[in-house]
Amino acid sequence: MEPVAGVTTAGRGGRAGQRARYGIDGGYAGLAVFGLIEAGLAGTVAWAARRRRPAVAALACLGGAAVAGSAASYLYSTGPGKRGIWAQLLDELGLRGDEHVLDVGCGRGAVLMLAARRVPAGRAVGVDVWRRRDQSGNSRAAAERNAVAEGVRDRVEVADADARDLPFAPASFDVVVSSLAISNIRGASGRAQALREAVRVLRPGGRLRIVDDGADRYAPVLREAGCTGVTVRQLGWRTWYGIPGHHIPLVAAARPADPGSSL
Ligand SMILES: C[S@@+](CC[C@H](N)C(=O)[O-])C[C@H]1O[C@@H](n2cnc3c(N)ncnc32)[C@H](O)[C@@H]1O
């Protein structure tokens, strides 16, 4: 099982002294910082009011605790929570180790590197358009540095590509994964196009795993694209992203093994 806490350190073949850093998802980095500042202010009010206005102090403490808890939850979900969930999802696939895996919208590679570790004799390919507003410090170079730090550079490729127009031949990959990326594409038709592309590059019998806000809405599109075994599952508290009760779904699907399918 992968370590799930904090920033992954180089080891097991990673370059000594380098640490993989996966950034913070979304424009929410600002939100997290704002939350911490708010919590600090609430603490200050509580401290100042503690003698003369204990009720105000108590309320400020409660507000501060709620904001701090929300920020902590966000940071947990964007880091160790996400990596823990994906480690589990990838383990559930029971990979042999020689598969070709594609990560659509890989960003700095949190999921890509987890996949790469599981395919020592295979390939892990990540594509992205590297939008900074979707992940802090997002760049192809950051993903490449993380591959070195994680000791998987030999089997990782990263390429500039839009999810709606993947530069791969049909049936190129055994597994296609995507984490929190497709929802960033504007318009339902653009998202549907990205899903069809993910299915197109999947080999017959290949498997697809997408974790994304609104991934439950992807299920009909995947069925229409010819996928079988399409299931949706809520991923629980690790995907709260600062909002208790908010769950990000996983949609799982497979491309039928029958080469005569409609795809
Ligand atoms: C929230 S980040 C998630 C990154 C990574 N999958 C992860 O979980 O750490 C969303 C990613 O989707 C990428 N993205 C947005 N629109 C895209 C598109 N049309 N094609 C490919 N990637 C896209 C962004 O550049 C960003 O790297």
Residues in the chain: 263
Q: Which residues of 189-224 are buried (b: 16+ CB within 10 A; e: fewer)?
A: eebbbbbbbbbbbbbbebbbbbbbbebebbbebbee
Q: Alpha helix (H) ranges present in the chain?
A: 28-49, 54-76, 82-92, 110-117, 140-149, 188-200, 219-224
* CATH code matching the domain that covers 81-254, chosen among 3.30.465.10, 3.40.50.150, 3.30.1600.10, 1.10.3720.10: 3.40.50.150
Q: What is the mean pLDDT of the chain?
A: 86
- Decide if pLDDT at 96 tops 90: yes
Which residues, at least 6 apart from 72, have a Cβ–Cβ distance to it below 8 Å?
A: none
What pLDDT digit, counting tens, does each position of 106-120 carry? 999 999 999 999 999
In the three-class reduction of DSSP (H, G, I as helix; E, B as strand; rest coil), residue 179 is classed as: strand
In single-letter form, the type of residue at position 108 comes to R
Q: 151 with 10: CB under 8 angstroms?
A: yes
Residues in contact with ligand 1 by the CB-under-6-Å rule are: 22, 25-26, 82, 105-107, 110-111, 128-131, 134-135, 138, 162-164, 179-181, 184-185
What pLDDT digit, counting tens, does each position of 214-252 carry? 889 999 999 999 999 999 999 888 888 877 888 899 999
130: CA distance to ligand 1 center in Å? 7
Closest atom of ligand 1 to 135 CA is 2
Q: pTM above the 0.75 mark?
A: yes
Domains of the chain, by residue range, sit at: 28-74, 81-254
What pLDDT digit, counting tens, does each position of 192-207 carry? 999 999 999 999 999 9
**Phi and psi (nearest 5°) for 176?**
-120, 130
Q: 169 with 139: CB under 8 angstroms?
A: no
| Residue from 131, 182, 211, 235 to probe ligand 1 pocket by mutation (most atoms less than 8 Å from CB) | 131
- The residue whose CA has the least distance to atom 27 of ligand 1 is 107
- Decide if pLDDT at 49 tops 90: no
Which residues, at least 6 apart from 83, have a Cβ–Cβ distance to it below 8 Å?
A: 2, 4, 8, 22, 110, 111, 114
Element (H or E) spanning 1, and its range? none
